[in-house]
Chains A and B, each alone.
Chain A
């Protein structure tokens, strides 16, 4: 989604060249078949999620399946007040903090790496494949290795040290890949022009590159936040004694059989949607501002 997100407004080709011929008039039969497939896909994608959101609003008699038994916010209250469901509030708090830290580091490090990878340098392929390796390695194995490593050095595993690092090994490859896509659409003439006008390297980065690349950087931030906020496999062996939210959900799936599990699902999805909405919204806003400035 990286490249497409970053190039969103630039891909606008005239709509008429879009369709497979004929570009006007009747649709071929394949259109209807594929449209049906697409509709089924979207329903299967959102349908189940929608079910648990609805089921989380049952009252105290509620169970894990339909039909709905009453309507209330009982399970949401239950979620944040009951001790038996675990430390939801604390883990929620930790996950948000961790995601913010991961986001900041991911944006900065990916941006710098993106600048570095613009030109070939000796060993760049090695670094690139190290990154791909970090992306495809089984998360649980990496997490265990990180945990053992901390143990070997006599360090305590905790969410803000070992889990932070383990999550970065997951978010950074995504961030850098998004930067690749973003950078490839950056016109180097702008940077050259900045240098010609006497800008220092830092000035050209701060005054030219960052503003031009802003939508791409927002996309990197979106990846950083959401991937960290939902990260599970790599955190399992590295989070130490205090859980992050996905770990809390995991332990709930194993021992909680009440709709409070669904309520937690609803709450965390709302947070995800707010973050996604804010990111996509700000990308659109930046582009719009830019468009009106270019016209005016």
Chain B
């Protein structure tokens, strides 16, 4: 993606815009406009039956910000996000590390990598419900634990609990960590590590001073994916918690269900602002455009 000095700027401006115009023509009506509609709706008044009165009132924001529920929802969402982020990061980092530095055969490494990525292209909902026969009250894990005599009554916390929500998230999202981290690790020159070993670095030093800093951009990219997906999710929370937990977006979904559009919109705008803040902090540390194109 290097700029080509050979082209006259004005011509390349026009050509560039012509090439991206179809993209813009999709994103404006289906990303920019919907966001603006939600923003506008958050300032409207409602009759409580789904009818919106155009106008400008901050009532919905006041309602959202004053409700104790909001704080609870954000805390729950942050808890799920943080737990999922830490777990996906640890698993993703070491899986990528294993594939890049420990699998000596290149073809085998690519094969194992594909093995990790294939489920990404299958249905998330199906992957989520596939935990039911395992975690349920009569599921395999309880059956096994009962048979071994570890427990005497089936554990109920396995399914329809916060634990199940986090398991489902980690199951779905670790791939978003593995791929970018694998990508940046694969670019680390192995000679650098050989040199470090020759200079007397320990395994821990290599990890701390070479591998982690040089995988930072991959970690940042993975973090953007994981955080934005968990914070924007509602169906994993709804299904896997059995209705016991809620997140910001699942509350949004309930609001929409009872036609409380302005409150829902106000809460969505707040969530989007939080998300934008997080993503822009991450983007300051990494130029993802350079990163992907490198």
Contact = CB atoms under 8 A, between A and B. Distances in A.
Identify whether the interface residues of B are mostly helix, strand, loop, or mixed: helix
B118 interface: yes
Interface in B1-54: 1, 3-4, 7, 12-13, 15-20, 22-24, 26-27, 29-38, 41
A141 B268 contact: yes
Interface stretch (A11-19, A77-85, A86-94): A11-19
Interface string A136-179: 11111111111011001000000000000110110010001100
B245 interface: no
Interface stretch (B57-65, B68-76, B126-134, B145-153): B126-134
Contacts of A177: 292
A52 B119 CA distance: 14
Identify whether the interface residues of A are mostly helix, strand, loop, or mixed: helix
A185 to B, nearest CB: 9
A158 B288 CA distance: 35
B235 A232 contact: yes
B30 A265 contact: no
Given A183-B1, A232-B125, A51 B17 contact: no
Interface residues of B, number: 108
Nearest to A162: B30
Nearest to B38: A145
A47 B51 CA distance: 48
Given A137-B31, A141-B232, A184-B1, A3 B122 contact: no
A138 B19 contact: no
B259 to A, nearest CB: 11
A180 B127 contact: no
Given A34-B98, A119-B3, A48 B15 contact: no
A172 B23 CA distance: 8
Contacts of B234: 140, 233
A151 to B, nearest CB: 9
B143 interface: yes
Contact of B110 (A8, A27, A229): A8
B80 interface: no
A193 to B, nearest CB: 15
Given A144-B256, A261-B129, A65 B34 contact: no
Contacts of B91: 37, 41
A143 B127 CA distance: 23
Given A4-B186, A55-B133, A269-B122, A48 B23 contact: no
Nearest to B126: A265
A242 interface: no
Contacts of A180: 1, 289, 292-293
A70 interface: no
A37 B98 contact: yes
A266 to B, nearest CB: 9
B89 interface: no
A131 interface: yes
A19 B101 CA distance: 5
A284 B57 CA distance: 58
Contact of B106 (A15, A38, A45, A144): A15
Contacts of B83: none
A231 to B, nearest CB: 9
Given A142-B34, A169-B31, A276-B118, 4 more contacts: A117-B1, A121-B15, A133-B276, A262-B129
Interface of B: 1, 3-4, 7, 12-13, 15-20, 22-24, 26-27, 29-38, 41, 91, 94-95, 97-99, 101-106, 109-110, 112-127, 129-134, 136, 138-140, 143, 171, 174-175, 179, 182-183, 186, 190, 193-194, 197, 203, 206, 224, 228, 231-235, 239, 249, 252-253, 256, 261, 264-265, 268, 271-272, 275-276, 279, 288-289, 292-294
